Amino acid sequence: MNLKKKFHYFYVLLILLFLGTGALVHADEISLTYRLKWLFNASVAGDIMASEGGFFSRAGLDVKIKEGSPEKNAIKELELGQADFGVASADQVIRALDKGAKVMVLAQIFQINPMQWIYRTEHVHISEISDLKKYRVGITFGGNDETIMKALLAHGGLGFSDVHITGVRFDFTPFLKKKVDVWPVYQNSQGVILQDKLGREGETVQFLNPASFGIQFVANCLVTSQKLFQQNPDLAQLFTKTLLQGWEVAMAQENERKTVEEIRKKDTNTSMELCLKQLTATRNLVKPDSDIPIGRIDTDAFLQTEKIMLKEKLISSPVHIEKWLIK
C-alpha cells in the first residue's frame, strides 16, 4: 500500500472515530443559517454529514440547515441577511452578479453537472450531437436545462429548429409512455429513480452528459455574501473547511451505510436500496477522479458557463466570474 493510500485510510479512520464520539457542545458556538438549493436527499449528503456527524459542532458552529425549493433562493437570502451561507448553481451566481449582487463562491460541490438527459438504449442511440435530430427531446422551458441544451446543440452546429423539442414539467408520464425519447433529469436523483423503475421492467437506459461533448455548466456551489467574506474571512474559511470535511466523509465508500442512515432520517420516503444508488451517483459527480479534491473550483468551467450565458443573452454584460471565486 503506497503512502497516499495509507494516509487516506488513516484519515477516514480518524473521521469514523469522531463520528462515534457524538458532537461536542460549545458554550460559545456561532449561530449560522445555511440555505440549500433543494430538498434533503443524497445530493446533499455532505451537508447532512457535516451536521449530523458533529463536524459543525466541534468547530464551534451552530448551523441551521434549511431545505431549498424553487421558491427559496439562497442568494436572495444572503442579500437580505436571512442566511449566512447557501448553495447556488453557477448560473444563479452569474445572474445575481449581473444584477448587482455581491456573491462569493467558496467551493464547487459538483465537478460534473447532474443535469443530464435519460434515454432508453433500445430505441435511442446517441454518439454525436447530430443524433439528437432523430429524437423527441424534452426541455423545461425557462430552466437551466434549456440553456445547457441550446449550448450543446450550438456546439454541434444545430439549433432548436433542427430538433424536435418538447416542453416538459416534473411529471415523467410522457417519458414513461415513450412520447418523449430524451428526458431531462438530475442524474443522481430523478435519474436513479427512473433507471431503477425501467430496469425492473427489463429496460436499460443511458444518460446524455453534455460534459462528454465539452459543455461545462457548473452546478451546485457553496456561496456567501461579499459582506460576510470581507468582514469575517476566518469564519468563511472555517465554515468551508468544516463543510468539506462532511463531504469527505459522505463520499468515502467506507462510510456509505452510515451516510445513508443519516440521509434517510431526513429523506424518509426513499428506500435504503435506492438511497445507496443515489449516493453512488452523487459520488461520481462530486469526486469523479481520485486526484480531484472535493470542493475544487474549476475556473475554466465557470468561465465557459458565463460565456454560454452571454451568448444566450441571459446576462447583459460580462461579470468576470473569476473575480468572485475564492481559491
**What would the pLDDT profile of 209-257 be if each residue is shown by its tens digit?**
999 999 999 999 999 999 999 999 999 999 999 999 999 999 999 999 9
> What is the Cα 262 distance to its own chain's centre?
19
Average pLDDT across the chain, whole number: 92
The per-residue pLDDT for 327 is 86
Find out if CATH 3.30.1360.120 is the number for domain 3-111+218-303+318-324: no
d(Cα 70, Cα 88) in Å, to the nearest integer?
12
The burial of 207, by beta-carbon neighbours within 10 Å (0-12 exposed, 13-18 middle, 19 or more buried), is given as middle
Give pTM, 2 decimals: 0.89
With contact defined as beta carbons under 8 Å apart, do 129 and 182 qualify? no
d(Cα 58, Cα 53) in Å, to the nearest integer?
10
Q: Bridge-partner residues for 167, per DSSP?
A: 139
The per-residue pLDDT for 69 is 83
Residue 203 has pLDDT above 80, yes or no: yes
In this prediction, residues 271-275 reach a mean pLDDT of 97
In this prediction, residues 14-27 reach a mean pLDDT of 43
The per-residue pLDDT for 9 is 42
The per-residue pLDDT for 72 is 86
pLDDT per residue as tens digits for the range 44-98: 999 999 999 999 999 999 999 999 987 889 999 999 999 999 999 999 999 999 9
- What CATH fold (topology level) applies to the domain 115-213? D-Maltodextrin-Binding Protein; domain 2 (3.40.190)
Residue 19 has pLDDT above 90, yes or no: no
Higher pLDDT, 16 or 216: 216
In this prediction, residues 321-326 reach a mean pLDDT of 98
Q: Where in the chain is the domain with CATH 3.40.190.10?
A: 3-111+218-303+318-324, 115-213
The per-residue pLDDT for 18 is 42
In this prediction, residues 157-183 reach a mean pLDDT of 96
Instruction: Calculate what percentage of the chain has a pLDDT beyond 90.
Output: 88
**What residue has cell string 451536521?**
51
pLDDT band at 26 (very low <50, low <70, confident <90, very high): very low
pLDDT band at 155 (very low <50, low <70, confident <90, very high): very high
pLDDT band at 28 (very low <50, low <70, confident <90, very high): confident
pLDDT band at 20 (very low <50, low <70, confident <90, very high): very low
The per-residue pLDDT for 71 is 80
The per-residue pLDDT for 200 is 96
Cα distances (Å, whole numbers) of residue 235 to 7, 24, 61, 113: 28, 19, 9, 28
The per-residue pLDDT for 10 is 43
